[in-house]
Amino acid sequence: MDLVTPSIGLVFWTTLCFAILLFILGKFAWKPILAAISEREKSIESALSMAEAAKEEMARLTSENDELLKQARIERDNILREAKKVKDQIIGEAKDAANAEAGRMIERARIEIENQKAIAMADVKNQVATLSIDIAEKILRKQFEDQKKQDQLVSDLLKEVKLK
């Protein structure tokens, strides 16, 4: 049992060495260790607050990004709507211009047809007149071969003519 129970001298010297060691550690080591621990706590808190700030900044930037995307989509939709409106307007103007040009072309064709018809009618009239004159001339030559018939025609014409 002597091995398990220490003697009083050993306990005294162990306690004295421990007290001196505690005094030396307290005088020289505890302050720097506590300062390092305190500084480490502060750096961890600072890092956590910076991480929280970065997280909030990320959330803010994400929100701004989403808002910018919404605005870009709205602007894109507005641009597409405006482009469609301009396209429809251009198509409408082109249709109107084409219709107006078609109307002018139809009117010119109608006038040209009327002109050609008038020319053809005049030509037919001229041909009929020429043909009628030729026929009348042949008939009259045949009828007036006789002098009596000529005198009779002249007197009939003179009777029809009334002097005023």
User: For the chain, what are the domain ranges?
Assistant: 12-129
Under the banding of pLDDT at 50, 70 and 90, the label for residue 31 is: confident
Residue 162 pLDDT > 70: no
Contacts of 148 (CB under 8 A, 6+ apart): none
Task: Find where tokens 């009777």 sit.
Answer: 159
Task: Find where tokens 């990004």 sit.
Answer: 65
What separation in angstroms does the CA of 100 have from each of 45, 59, 133? 80, 60, 48
Question: Is pLDDT larger for residue 162 or for residue 132?
Answer: 132
Q: Is residue 150 a contact partner of residue 144, using CB atoms and an 8 Å limit?
A: yes
Distance CA 126, CA 132 (A): 10
Angle (CA) 92-93-99 rounded to 5° is 90
Distance CA 72, CA 9 (A): 87
Residue 28 pLDDT > 60: yes
User: Could you report the per-residue pLDDT of 73-110, keeping only the tens digit for each?
Assistant: 999 999 999 999 999 999 999 999 999 999 999 999 99
User: Could you report the per-residue pLDDT of 61-74, keeping only the tens digit for each?
Assistant: 999 999 999 999 99
How far is the first Cα of the chain from the last one, in angstroms, to the nearest whole number? 189
Model-level pTM greater than 0.85? no
What separation in angstroms does the CA of 21 have from each of 7, 36, 37, 87? 21, 20, 21, 93
User: pLDDT at position 136, please?
Assistant: 76
User: Could you report the per-residue pLDDT of 105-130, keeping only the tens digit for each?
Assistant: 999 999 999 999 999 999 998 888 88
User: Could you report the per-residue pLDDT of 124-155, keeping only the tens digit for each?
Assistant: 988 888 888 878 777 777 766 677 777 777 77
